[in-house]
Amino acid sequence: MTTTHHSEKTLLLNLLWACQDAKGFISNQDIFDIAAKLDVSAIEVEGVCTFYHFFHRKPAGKYIIYLNNSILSELKGYAAIRKALEQATGGHWGGVDATGQFGLFDTSCIGLSDQEPAMLINFYPFVKVTPERVFQLISALRAGASLAELADTVEDHLRYVPPGDRAIFFRDFAPGRALQRLTTLSPQQVIDEIREAHLLGMGGAFFPTADKWQICRNNPGEQHYLVCNADEGEPGTFKDRVLMNRLPELLIEGMIVGGYAIGAAEGIIYLRAEYRYLLPRLEAAIATYKQLGWLGQPTPAKESFTFDIRIQMGAGAYVCGEETALLDSLMGKRGEPWPKVFFPVERGYLGQPTSVNNVETLCAAARIIELGANKFRSLGTPGSPGTKLLSVAGDCRFPGIYEIEWGMTVGELLGFCGAEDPYFIQVSGPSGICVPAAEQSRCICHEDLLCGGSVMVFNTQRDLLQVMINFTEFFKKESCGVCTPCRAGNFILGRKLDLLKRGLARPADLEEIRQWGQLLGVASRCGLGKASAHALINAMQKFPAYFQQRVRAKGREKGFDLDRALGDYREAVEQTS
């Protein structure tokens, strides 16, 4: 296959977006046309199209409304908003109203956990929505008001930065300061500086960034690529949203630093579609650096370096936050994580050595070059130097972004965010772990409690099982579907949790949930699948008494609800007699 064929195929997501945006769905004819244009099977196009939930195969309305169904939205009024939307539009959930105007759909976390319930209408953000507001909005739209005018401005809610001169990200920023140093440093010196700073990948895997860049740089290829992972989809996290909104220039500088280090000619930002409203900010930042002479032309860096950045829009798939799934998505395919036979730094985008780095990692890299490794190293803990952005939300008075020095305790964080009567915090989202609020002295750092960015606070009124059921549903929907344990396993776990919820589970069921969850951890194909039952097993460990209370032992009979099982028959009989 030729390279041109490859690059054309990478357009697939954009071609699908063009159809989706033009008429609100992608028709059969569209599928055939695109297949003909790209010279591929129509079924391949359809396979890609149906992988992403923002692509619709049926008309989805002039106004497509996506209401976040993550646990925080659920706890802050999801049900009431959903009902109001159905009433106001006259439509049913999961479809379009009779007039074809309004489509009503669920979506996974949209990165607005600090202002729930939140929704997107044609990707314009609406936050802290109330039922009254829903009715106003729908009638305004019916009257022809413009979405751009109705939409909310998304607040950053930057709540905390380390005192003194100890902030890394949210300190004053002047464009070009980091880049200035590139005029005196060789790419190897840049990597050495990053290594000296001991920067770890902030997306959640915490792989040493310098190692990734070094291996990528050393691997031969026709071309090297730097990919910025701006697909933060872990429910509860929104730190990259704030970084890109507040400091898009810092991200661009980070990408230039990374691109220079690995010897890339092209950088790609893979932006989740949920953040489409940030596109103008990022495009403006890219334009700024074109003007400054750092993009799209030979740069003033010490060694010869020409670099450019483009943005690829995702289309709704949590799993694309996994780097290999993201690369497949970038290449116009279904976003399925690869079996780890080789790594992106060996064969990544278009088969070439590629470094995939998180938004926060790249921003940190720019700061390290600007401030020096020593400054970075002097902050945080020995295992995790520097600072970390936490997205804190849930049952606390001050939801928002906390730039903490690694090493802050759980108790301090709960104090700063004004946690009210906390029961537990969920650290790193549904694939993370559950930390009882009693564990105040746990230290957020590499040595103790790592956190990818999501911190969800739950108070003592919250039902742990409801939280776990929401997480399991999330994975059931968002699994890429390729491997048996993740695809079927989360479905099966959901059935078990339903038994628990209905009071029909027995002690043996708890043991099975634990064993099956562990099995998902052992047998799943990628890290996301392996982590999918993590929170559940962890919660069972931390709160055994809670789960014990929910089981009913009944001799050798199983929990079987006969009346419920007979309900369908009785109803059918009633209807005909």
Partner 1 sequence: MKKIVNFTIDGKPCQAPEGENLVKAAAANGIKIPSLCYYEHIDPPLGTCRVCMVKVDKKAFAACTIKAKEGMQVEFNVPELNDARKAMVEMMFAEGNHFCPACEKSGDCDLQGLGYRLGVTISRFPHLFLNRFIDYRPKRIVVEHNRCILCRRCVEEVNTKDGFPVFSFLNRGASTEVRVDYDQEAKLDEEEAIKAMHLCPTGAILVRGKTQPRPRGERKYDLQDAGQTVSTPKAGMAPLKGQPKKVIATTSLAGCFGCHMSLLDIDEELMDVIEVVDISKSPLTDIKKFNRRCDVGLIEGGCCNDENVEVLKAFRANCDILVAVGECAIWGGLPAMRNFVPLEECLNEAYGHATSDLEQGKVIPHHEDLPELLDRVYGCNEIVEIDYYIPGCPPDASHIWKVLKNILFGADYSIIKSEFKYD
Q: What are phi and psi of 321, to 5 degrees?
A: -70, -20
**Which residue lies nearer to partner 1 by CB, 436 or 559?**
559
Q: Does 571 bind partner 1 (CB under 8 A)?
A: yes
Question: Under the criterion CB under 8 A, does residue 483 sit at the interface with partner 1?
Answer: yes
Closest distance to partner 1 from the beta carbon of 404 (Å): 32
Tell the smallest beta-carbon distance from residue 456 to partner 1 (Å): 22
397 scored as a contact of partner 1 (CB under 8 A): no
Q: Which of 140, 512, 542, 546 binds partner 1 (CB under 8 A)?
A: 512
Site for partner 1 in 449-478 (CB under 8 A): 475-478
Question: How crowded is residue 101: how many other Cβ atoms within 10 Å of its Cβ?
Answer: 16
Nearer of residues 308 and 512 to partner 1, judged by Cβ: 512
CB of 577 to partner 1, least distance (A): 7
User: Are residues 513 and 540 in contact, defined by beta-carbon separation less than 8 angstroms?
Assistant: yes
Q: What is the dihedral of CA 285, 288, 292, 296, to 10 degrees?
A: 80
Between the alpha carbon of residue 495 and those of residues 172, 201, 467, the distances in Å are: 51, 36, 15
- Single out the residue of 334, 367, 446, 550 in contact with partner 1 (rule: CB under 8 A): 334
Q: Each residue of 486-497: b (16+ CB within 10 Å) or e?
A: bbebbebbbebb
560 lies in the site for partner 1, by CB under 8 A: yes
CB of residue 116 vs partner 1: minimum separation in angstroms? 23
Contact present, 391 and 202 (Cβ < 8 Å):
no
From 209, 354, 479, 538, residue interacting with partner 1 (rule: CB under 8 A): 479
Which residue blocks in 146-186 are alpha helix, DSSP H? Answer: 147-150, 177-182
Which of the stretches 111-119, 418-426, 485-493, 533-541 binds partner 1 when contact is defined by CB under 8 A? Answer: 485-493
- Residue 322: which residues within 8 A CB-CB, separation 6 or more? 335, 337, 526, 527, 528
196 binds partner 1 (CB under 8 A): no
Does position 41 interact with partner 1 (CB under 8 A)? The reply is yes
- Cα 68 to Cα 56: distance, rounded to the nearest angstrom: 17
According to the binding rule CB under 8 A, does residue 3 interact with partner 1? no
Interacting span for partner 1 (CB under 8 A) from 16-24, 180-188, 300-308, 565-573: 565-573
How many residues at the interface with partner 1, by CB under 8 A? Answer: 62
Residue type for position 403: E
Phi, psi of 308 (to 5 degrees): -140, 160
For the CA atoms of the chain, what is the radius of gyration? Answer: 24
Distance CA 226, CA 165 (A): 31
Task: Based on the shown chain and the rule CB under 8 A, indicate whether residue 523 belongs to the binding site for partner 1.
Answer: yes
- Residue closer to partner 1 by CB (options 53, 534) is 53
d(CA 248, CA 240): 10
Please pick, from the candidates 98, 284, 342, 382, the single residue that binds partner 1 as defined by CB under 8 A. 342
Binding of partner 1 at residue 174 (CB under 8 A)? no
What part of residues 300-319 is at the interface with partner 1 (CB under 8 A)?
A: 317, 319
Q: How far is the CB of 403 from partner 1 (least distance, A)?
A: 34
Q: Where are the alpha helices (DSSP H) in 90-172?
A: 131-142, 147-150
**570 is an interface residue for partner 1 by CB under 8 A:** yes
φ and ψ of 278, to 5 deg: -90, -10
Instruction: Looking at residues 239 to 278 of the shown chain, list those that interact with partner 1 (rule: CB under 8 A).
Output: none
- The token pair at 10 is 């990478």
Closest approach of Cβ 518 to partner 1, in Å? 9
541: number of Cβ within 10 Å: 12
- Residues ≥6 apart with Cβ < 8 Å to 444: 388, 390, 404, 406, 407, 408, 409, 410, 413, 427, 450, 451
Nearer Cβ to partner 1, position 284 or 519?
519
Q: Where are the beta strands (DSSP E) in 256-386?
A: 266-271, 308-313, 354-358
CB of 446 to partner 1, least distance (A): 21
Identify the residue among 487, 513, 517, 533 touching partner 1 (CB under 8 A). Answer: 487
The yes or no reply on residue 37 touching partner 1 (CB under 8 A) is no
Stretch that binds partner 1, among 39-47, 73-81, 137-145, 450-458 (CB under 8 A): 39-47
Binding range to partner 1, per CB under 8 A, among 157-165, 270-278, 357-365, 523-531: 523-531
Q: Exposure of 539 by Cβ count < 10 A (0-12 exposed, 13-18 middle, 19+ buried)?
A: buried
Note the residues at the interface with partner 1 (CB under 8 A). Answer: 40-44, 46-47, 50-53, 317, 319, 334, 338-342, 475-485, 487-492, 495-496, 512, 516, 519, 522-525, 556-558, 560, 562, 564-573, 576-577
